[in-house]
Structure 1
Amino acid sequence: MHIAVFSQYHTNPDCPATSRHYALLEHLAKTHRVTLLTTDAWAGQRLTQQFPWVPAGVEARVAKVHYDNKMGPARRALAFVQYAAWAVREGLKLDRPAVIWGISTPLTAAWAAARVARRLGVPWVFEVQDLWPSFPIAMGAVPTALARRELFKLEKRLYDSAAHIMPLSPDMSSYVTNLGIALKKVTTILNGTDLELAARATPAAVEALRQEQGLAGKRVVLYAGTFGRANDITTLVAAAEKMVEADSEVVWLFLGHGFHAPLIAAAAARWPGRIRVVGGQPRHAVFAWFGLADVSVVSFLDMPVLDTNSPAKLYDSLAVGTPVVVTNRGWTKALVEREHCGWYVPAGDAPALAARLREALQQPGLLHEMGARGRQLARREFDRQTLAATMQRILEQAALTGQGR
């Protein structure tokens, strides 16, 4: 069958990004015709050329709409509108698909998918990556009460019109069903991780990276992800400075890019070699960095909407056996405590974070045990190939149900 996919931000494993949809599209394209409507926003950020831009069998239709993490709210909104308008026009030119898969964020991409589905008379499936508009509203990006009300109305209409809804975390699913959406219409499909790429982080590869970086004998804390406004980077920097001041054997690595890069760079200048900015790494290389860390940190601001999210760095760290410290109070806290693969520290509390990490680093045996449990959990529940098969079944069922209307 023909599946049309509306996704504003496509990446591949050559990019410094999670590339979730690359794995899912690759799986779908083995048995179905797939057309991807996306933008070129990430095309210029490829760091290597090991993977084709889209998986074999996927036809990409690409709009030229710029985007980066440093944009302000107005410029972001313009990019969202530009993609949505283009996606509706382009979507109506497609050979009629059996089902449409709309991916939010942003909410406007899902709106475009829903509009085309309605015009073509086909079902659509809604993937919820983050809760919109709750997230931008919490970040102060939607200043007027009228705009907030209209966005919440749009969100509810999209949930109602979708044949099925696929949030990326159990807390997101609870949010959706609490709006009155039937439980049978909602399936949680976690962000997950790429176990075949994680397998590249062999002990030899990790040791080679450790020697290359001069980290032999050091206790390493890693933050790998966006240096964004929502990621509580100021708390991480404060904790890092407390730790390296007290212990010369501790090294903090910040792997990524984004809005707060200058803040981290300034700390690195104050503590050369002890706080390091690694910069973005391609998806296929990031697992070795997680592998050399003793513990990683998954941090966000103290906002209820952020407690629902499904951070890739959590899955990636556990996949290679590195325990995590999370600062969300939602399902990730419950997960690491239930599975004994990490710890929770309240967001915004730099002294508590530094203390928790110091205690963890002094217990290598416990770190090893927690890492082993995390690795087992990743293989049991986080494999994107298994998650892709679930998504395929949902898309096929939606198409089948649509044929009977």
Structure 2
Amino acid sequence: MKVIYFHQHFSTPSGAAGTRSYEMAQKLLERGHEVAMICGSYGVGTSGLHGPFVNGLRKGVVEGIEIIELKLPYSNKDGFGKRTLTFLKFAFKSIRIALNQKYDLLFATTTPLTAGIPGIISKMLRRKTFVFEVRDLWPELPKAMGVITNPIVLTLMSWLEWSSYHSADACIGLAPGIVEGIKKRGIPEELIDMVPNGCDLKLFNKRSGGVGWRPEGVNDNDLMAVFTGAHGVANGLDAVLDAALILKQKIRNDIKLVFVGDGKLKQELKQKALESGLDNCIFLDPIPKIKLAGLLAQADLGLMILANVPAFYYGTSPNKFFDYIATGIAVLNNYPGWLADMIEEHECGLTVEPDNPEDFAGKLIYAADNRHILQEMGINARKLAEDKFDRQKLAGKFVDILEKVYRDHEKIC
């Protein structure tokens, strides 16, 4: 079958963004299917295309994937209004593609929620098989964070969420809370599957003997705790700076906190660290996955940080967690939920009480003073990655789902 795959923030491994869609597309190709990837121009990602845009898009084939990249630049630093406009432009340009391209199955993945619009239209006008993947629950998450408060906007988003779920022949959720959220909107359990983010066991492996590195300012004997990803409101990175201040007060200069990524609040965080004299905090720009793997190979801890919003507890599936455990490093997690539960069950890291900088700093000090325990936790983390989150196995499950949905749809038609 030919799959037309809509992911506004698609990136190949050459970029600094998540590569879930790339991996899923590669597994589809491996199983004999064709894939056309429709994406925008994501600031920290790369589509693999380098030619000029013609009439607002550029096309090419990257590692077997047919790419159609729309000239719609997007950055995590963009304001809410600008991001919303970009999301809508992508959705409406995608409708045109969905109505004119030849394909058998349309697959759309969030975020944003507007990714579902071409699927709704394709289902309505062309009766195409449609599978919708939900990475975050919208509008539940932005509502819980207080980012969106306008009742009209929330109502429209809720309608779009409902329409996307009910137009789809099947839905895929990335976390337990997401699956439950889809069920609550009236979708039968048998039409929902959970396929979490997975681990690239080849690229991320602390014990593979590859070349690792530490940034300037981090000594070989320092405990290096690394956060990777967006620096936005949802990430709650002030919690790390608060812990860093306590570490300075306790004169624990042997603990370094490294931030890798970009986002709306990055400059504000850097300024706060500078004004507070937090030379134990080191900020790096986004780096390609290959280089990130080298950094994590030299890390002692991976930081799983989110704002203390209950909707996050069981409703997110962050890429960074899976990169950490694949590497084989312990994880320090600062919010409750399914990941914290796993960390405790499999003894692969430390959990911190939310909004408690003293506990956060105390756990970092404990980690620095008990490196042998960290090593054991790292071994457990790698085992968890291999046993439950091998990306190749999860990608195989993903393709199985799409194949079954397409077969079932063809029988009905």
Equivalent residues of 2:200, 2:390 under 8 A apart: yes
Equivalent of residue 257 in structure 2, options 252, 257, 265: 252
How far is 1:199 from its partner?
3.9
Equivalent of residue 93 in structure 1, options 83, 89, 100: 100
Write the mapping of 1:53-202 to structure 2, written as runs, cut at 5 A: 55-95=62-102, 97-199=103-205, 202=208
How far is 1:332 from its partner?
0.9
Please state whether the residue corresponding to 2:202 is helix, strand or coil.
helix
Closer, same or farther: CA 48–121 of 1 in aligned 2, 3 Å: closer
Closer, same or farther: CA 211–18 of 1 in aligned 2, 3 Å: closer
**CA separation in 1, counterparts of 2:309 and 2:216?**
39
Closer, same or farther: CA 402–185 of 1 in aligned 2, 3 Å: same
What's the counterpart of residue 395 of structure 1?
402
Question: 2:356 aligned with 1:352, yes or no?
Answer: no
Residue-by-residue CA offset, 1:176-195 (whole Å, 9 max, x unaligned) = 22333211111110111222
Question: 2:234 aligned with 1:233, yes or no?
Answer: no
How far is 1:86 from its partner?
0.1
Equivalent residues of 2:226, 2:257 under 8 A apart: yes
Equivalent of residue 218 in structure 1, options 201, 222, 226: 222
Question: 2:8 aligned with 1:8, yes or no?
Answer: yes
Residue-by-residue CA offset, 1:34-57 (whole Å, 9 max, x unaligned) = 111111234x755999xxx96422
Compute the RMSD of aligned alpha carbons.
2.3
Write the mapping of 1:44-59 to structure 2, written as runs, cut at 5 A: 55-59=62-66
Equivalent of residue 315 in structure 1, options 309, 322, 333: 322
Closer, same or farther: CA 362–380 of 1 in aligned 2, 3 Å: same
How far is 1:266 from its partner?
2.7
How far is 1:348 from its partner?
2.5
Equivalent residues of 2:9, 2:45 under 8 A apart: no
Equivalent residues of 1:36, 1:59 under 8 A apart: yes
AA in 1 matched with 2:17: A
Q: Which runs of 5+ in 1 are unaligned?
A: none
What's the counterpart of residue 26 of structure 2?
26
AA in 1 matched with 2:322: Y
Equivalent residues of 2:47, 2:69 under 8 A apart: no
Please state whether the residue corresponding to 1:387 is helix, strand or coil.
helix
Q: Which runs of 5+ in 2 are unaligned?
A: 50-59
How far is 1:239 from its partner?
0.9
**CA separation in 1, counterparts of 2:249 and 2:302?**
19
AA in 2 matched with 1:372: I
More deviation, 182-191/325-334: 325-334
How far is 1:241 from its partner?
2.4
Equivalent residues of 1:166, 1:188 under 8 A apart: yes
Question: 2:39 aligned with 1:38, yes or no?
Answer: yes
What's the counterpart of residue 386 of structure 1?
393
Equivalent residues of 1:191, 1:312 under 8 A apart: yes
Equivalent residues of 1:192, 1:383 under 8 A apart: yes
Equivalent residues of 1:232, 1:299 under 8 A apart: yes
How far is 1:203 from its partner?
3.8
**CA separation in 2, counterparts of 1:33 and 1:160?**
26
Equivalent of residue 374 in structure 1, options 377, 381, 388: 381
Identity %: 26
**CA separation in 1, counterparts of 2:112 and 2:61?**
21
Closer, same or farther: CA 212–304 of 1 in aligned 2, 3 Å: closer
Residue-by-residue CA offset, 1:250-288 (whole Å, 9 max, x unaligned) = 111111111222233235545475321122110122122
Please state whether the residue corresponding to 2:73 is helix, strand or coil.
coil
Counting matched residue pairs gives: 399
Equivalent residues of 1:244, 1:250 under 8 A apart: no
Residue-by-residue CA offset, 1:119-166 (whole Å, 9 max, x unaligned) = 211111111111111122233343321221232122122212211111
**CA separation in 1, counterparts of 2:354 and 2:62?**
38
Closer, same or farther: CA 139–25 of 1 in aligned 2, 3 Å: same
**CA separation in 2, counterparts of 1:273 and 1:234?**
15
